[in-house]
Amino acid sequence: MSVVMLTLFMLGSLFFVVQDYGLVVGAASKFPAQDSAPSDRLPAYGRVIQTGPKAYSVHMIGHVWAWAPSPLHVPQGAAVTFYVTSADVLHGFEIQGTPINVTAVPGMTGKVTYTFRRPGRYHIICNEYCGLEHQAMTGVIIVDPEAPS
């Protein structure tokens, strides 16, 4: 009898965790698959794109438990526009040492622009609890110094 009760308790706990945190693997989505969109309209995940003089954009995607792409290299003085989304659950996109703080929501894209005036390493953290390895969800932006003129 106690084995049955323990089994029911464990299954109930697992159901609660999955439902509460939204971590569902292989679920159908109401959003079309990226493969069905023309490739020229897909976001350029994984790279920094120069959009103008000293202007760049990057599409960041949060997934359990990492930010991609990372590390990122951008030049000092560059205005970088971040397009932030999530592949699975809510994540918080925070770049330490800057005012950037965007919630990454699955199926939606947040946008924020920041000019990196000082060279150095900027750490990306997830500031929205997203599961068991939340504390390890980090990334790095490396701002390369301007070349002397």
**pLDDT tens column, 76-125:** 999 999 999 999 999 999 999 999 999 999 999 999 999 999 999 999 99
CATH of domain 44-149: 2.60.40.420
**Helix and strand totals (H; E) in the chain:** 1, 10
DSSP-assigned states of every residue in 10-70: HHHHHHHHHHHH---SS---SSPPGGGS-GGGS--BTSEEEEETTEEEEEEEEETTEEES-
**pLDDT tens column, 130-148:** 888 899 999 999 999 987 7
Q: What per-residue confidence (pLDDT) applies to 34?
A: 42
Q: What per-residue confidence (pLDDT) applies to 6?
A: 64
For the chain, what percent of residues have pLDDT higher than 70? Answer: 71
Report the SS3 class of residue 86.
Answer: strand
Peptide bond into 65 cis (omega under 30): yes
Total-model pTM: 0.71
What count of other Cβ atoms lies within 10 Å of the Cβ of residue 20? 8
Q: What per-residue confidence (pLDDT) applies to 23?
A: 44
CA distance 77 to 85: 25
Confidence category of residue 21, pLDDT binned at 50, 70, 90: very low
CA distance 118 to 120: 7
Kindly state the average pLDDT of the residues 2-27: 54
